[in-house]
Amino acid sequence: MGRTKKRKEIWTPSKSPAQRVAAKITKKFKSPHKNSRRALYQEPNMPQVELKREIIIRNCVIKGYHEFKVKPLVSNNLEQRVDREYSNIHDADACVVWIPDNIPEDLKNVLTDKKRGLKLRDIEGLPCGHVPRVLASDFRYIMDADGFVYATVNGEPKPSFPPWPPMLEKGGGVVIPCTYRVCPKSLKTALTVLQQHIENMSEKEVIEVTVS
């Protein structure tokens, strides 16, 4: 009876704490049953479209950091894509802010989360938060009409601050300061809808809407 060959063991390096955290986040939001899903009929790497006129919404926020726990890069040089969240059964108008899939090589190794040791490459293509509910319905209307919306992050995640709802109240929580850039197909219609809704917001005293 011949000897059984001993299987050769293949050594694989153990993952660092940061890599394990990144893998856990990726598994949660990139699995087939992930909580936040992109538009069913759009390519994930759709290029940014520069339209003639755009609406800038300053002094705004991204909500839901407590759910996603993904820190985007604080930079004017990297825009996050806003898209519809079809899998949200609690809010038909919900919109999610996504870290880009096509991050420039010179930014991929930038540290975004010092505590967990995560770099931008670790969170590439992941959701980082929700658009405030009162703006989500407007953004969804604009995107359904072939427009585009982007978010630029202006600061680190922080407890919600006035005039946004306090931490322990409904609508409160940790927020990410940001600016939204809206590229609608019809500037006049989009601007009218946005201004009407913002006028009814308690946060209207700080939100600044301009056209460029």
3-state secondary structure of 141: helix
Q: How far apart are CA 181 and CA 4, in angstroms?
A: 66
* Average per-residue pLDDT for the chain: 83
Residue-wise pLDDT tens digits, 47-83: 454 446 899 999 999 999 988 999 999 999 999 999 9
Residue 58 tokens, joined: 């300053």
What is the structure's pLDDT at 118?
Answer: 95
What is the structure's pLDDT at 41?
Answer: 38
DSSP state of 6: P
What is the structure's pLDDT at 32?
Answer: 45
Residue 44 tokens, joined: 């994930």
What is the structure's pLDDT at 172?
Answer: 74
Indicate if the pLDDT at residue 148 is higher than 90.
yes
CB burial readout 16-45, b (16+ within 10 A) else e: eeeeebbeebbebbeeeeeebbbeeeeeee
Higher pLDDT, 204 or 151: 151
All structural domains of the chain: 49-211 (3.30.70.2330)
Distance of CA 16 to the CA centre of its chain: 26
**pLDDT tier at 31, thresholds 50, 70, 90:** low
- Give me the amino acid identity at 4: T
Indicate if the pLDDT at residue 10 is higher than 60.
no
Closest Cα to residue 53, out of 187, 204, 193, 152? Answer: 187
**pLDDT tier at 22, thresholds 50, 70, 90:** low
**pLDDT tier at 88, thresholds 50, 70, 90:** confident
**pLDDT tier at 89, thresholds 50, 70, 90:** confident
Helix (H) or strand (E) holding 127: strand 127-130
Residue-wise pLDDT tens digits, 92-137: 899 999 999 999 999 999 999 999 999 999 999 999 999 998 899 9
